[in-house]
Amino acid sequence: MGLIRVNGKDRELREETNLADFLSAFQVDPRRVVVELNGDILPRDSYGTVLLKPGDVLEVVHFVGGGSI
């Protein structure tokens, strides 16, 4: 279908897919990430309805738990 760019690397998008399914395929918990698509930060409740298409640019920032100060 075409290429998308994810965190600076090209990835093949083989079929139309929504963002939630794309994240799930990489075992990414959507509650622990912030996603920027083509320069816009997306609300988490839109991940299931946003369809990825060739040429899209994604930045996925994953939060990791840590200790307390």
| Complete domains list, the chain, with CATH | 2-62 (3.10.20.30)
Mean pLDDT value across residues 28-45: 95
User: Residue with structure tokens 């298409």?
Assistant: 53
Considering the chain, what percentage of its residues have pLDDT values greater than 70? 93
pLDDT higher than 70, residue 68: no
Q: What is the pTM of this model?
A: 0.86
Sheet holding 33-37, edge to edge: 9-13, 2-6, 57-62, 33-37, 40-41
42: nearest Cα among 26, 16, 23, 65: 23
